[in-house]
Amino acid sequence: MIVSVLGSGAFGTALAISLAGNGPVTLWGRNSDQIRAMQDSRQNESRLPGVPLPEGLKVTSDLADATQSQTLLLAVPMQKLRVLLSENHAMFKGKTLVACCKGIELNTGLGPIAVIRECLPDAQPALLTGPSFAADIARGLPTALTLACCDEALGRDLQQALTTANIRLYRTQDTVGAELGGALKNVMAIACGAVIGAGMGDSARAALMTRGYAEMQRMALACGAQPETLAGLSGFGDLTLTCSSELSRNYQLGLSIGHGRAFDPSVTVEGAATARAVDAKARAMLLDMPITHTVVGLLDHSLTIAQATAQLLARPLKEE
């Protein structure tokens, strides 16, 4: 299977580096200056400094060239997926499109698979998700991820083709569960970072992770997901990683909120838009998602940390 990775950020570059161990890979980025610098230095200095690009990895800013491959990994932020697909519609027709982003689209409440289906009804969509930091993958450290695809035969082919020396893939047909797990864990990571940043301690974080997981399940099951998917790598696995590591940008944003410090708005933090999208979706579906709602309040500055904490603690007592 000939593969190209579209999006030369941290994750796209890391995936391309790992996949290059299987055979030739093309990595596409939209910024021709950045791509030229990558071609010259053979590293991605802004996103993954110090990690050399392997020989079999071709880097290009020519999308027509990159989309010669039948299988395209889409490693752009969730809120940018639709524009990439719709602006380059003709080049993506009939391709196998593997979304590598984690989030829910702000204006529609849709996940990546549904966005691909809307933009390109004749494409074959799949999702690569689960606990992994780009820096770990790029350095060859071992990771286990979920490959979600409704079509079982295609899912098996992708699982085989995208497994690498350091990425072990598990397979599921439950794309709804896989994409909601990956999207919602980022919202919980913001909440956990805020609690730790504000000095509320590890017990409070454990409470948020557990009740956050209950919220993730509530939304996912209401959308038709399987509970096993939420308990797997794409849900519980990624929740654990993202809520407990300072390498996570979502967690870092939470830490800044907790510390009362500004955060660089240019950093990709998927959980911010996703919290707003999920909060609106939960309201429409009459689902109780208090942590997500509180994160939106913190992001919008309509709640202080103290108010947010008091509000969550004062909720009516209930069975677990």
Ligand X SMILES: NC(=O)C1=CN([C@@H]2O[C@H](COP(=O)(O)OP(=O)(O)OC[C@H]3O[C@@H](n4cnc5c(N)ncnc54)[C@H](OP(=O)(O)O)[C@@H]3O)[C@@H](O)[C@H]2O)C=CC1
Ligand Y SMILES: O=C(CO)COP(=O)(O)O
The residues binding ligand X (CB under 6 A) are 7-12, 29-31, 47, 75-78, 80, 83-84, 100-103, 132-134, 268, 270
For the chain, the distance separating the N- and C-terminal CA atoms, rounded to the nearest angstrom, is: 47
Question: Is 11 labelled as part of a ligand binding site?
Answer: yes
Residue 72: strand pairing partners: 4, 97
Q: Using CB distances below 5 to 8 A depending on partner kind, what does residue 241 bind out of ligand Y, ligand X, none?
A: ligand Y
Distance CA 293, CA 296 (A): 5
Which is nearer to ligand Y, 215 or 238 (by Cβ)?
A: 238
Which is nearer to ligand Y, 9 or 155 (by Cβ)?
A: 9
Which is nearer to ligand X, 107 or 307 (by Cβ)?
A: 107
* Interacting residues toward ligand Y by CB under 6 A: 102, 131-133, 186, 189, 238, 241-242, 248-250, 270
Instruction: Report in angstroms how near the CB of residue 233 gets to ligand Y at its nearest.
Output: 9
Question: Is 32 labelled as part of a ligand binding site?
Answer: no
Q: Using CB distances below 5 to 8 A depending on partner kind, what does residue 236 bind out of ligand X, ligand Y, none?
A: none
Instruction: Report in angstroms how near the CB of residue 218 gets to ligand Y at its nearest.
Output: 21
Question: Is 45 labelled as part of a ligand binding site?
Answer: no
Note if 185 is an active site residue: yes
Question: Is 30 labelled as part of a ligand binding site?
Answer: yes
Q: Helix count (H) and strand count (E) of the chain? A: 16, 10
Distance CA 55, CA 263 (A): 36
Instruction: Report in angstroms how near the CB of residue 207 gets to ligand X at its nearest.
Output: 25
Instruction: Report in angstroms how near the CB of residue 134 gets to ligand Y at its nearest.
Output: 7
Which is nearer to ligand X, 31 or 302 (by Cβ)?
A: 31
What is each CA distance from 275 to 60, 75, 96, 143, 234, in whole angstroms? 34, 20, 29, 26, 17
Which is nearer to ligand X, 47 or 293 (by Cβ)?
A: 47
> For residue 146, which of 121, 129, 123 has the smallest C-alpha distance?
129
Question: Is 102 labelled as part of a ligand binding site?
Answer: yes
What single letter denotes the amino acid at residue 162?
Answer: L
Question: Is 88 labelled as part of a ligand binding site?
Answer: no
Distance CA 197, CA 257 (A): 7
Q: Using CB distances below 5 to 8 A depending on partner kind, what does residue 75 bind out of ligand Y, ligand X, none?
A: ligand X
Q: Using CB distances below 5 to 8 A depending on partner kind, what does residue 131 bind out of ligand X, ligand Y, none?
A: ligand Y
* Pairing label, strands 25-28, 3-6: parallel
The residue behind tokens 């990956």 is 182
Q: Using CB distances below 5 to 8 A depending on partner kind, what does residue 60 bind out of ligand Y, ligand X, none?
A: none
The single residue of 58, 80, 95, 185 carrying the catalytic annotation is 185
Burial call 265-296: b when 16+ CB within 10 Å, e when fewer: eeebbbbbbbbbbbbebbeeeebebebbbbbb
Sequence-ordered strand ranges (E) for 174-268: none
Provide the annotated active-site residues: 185
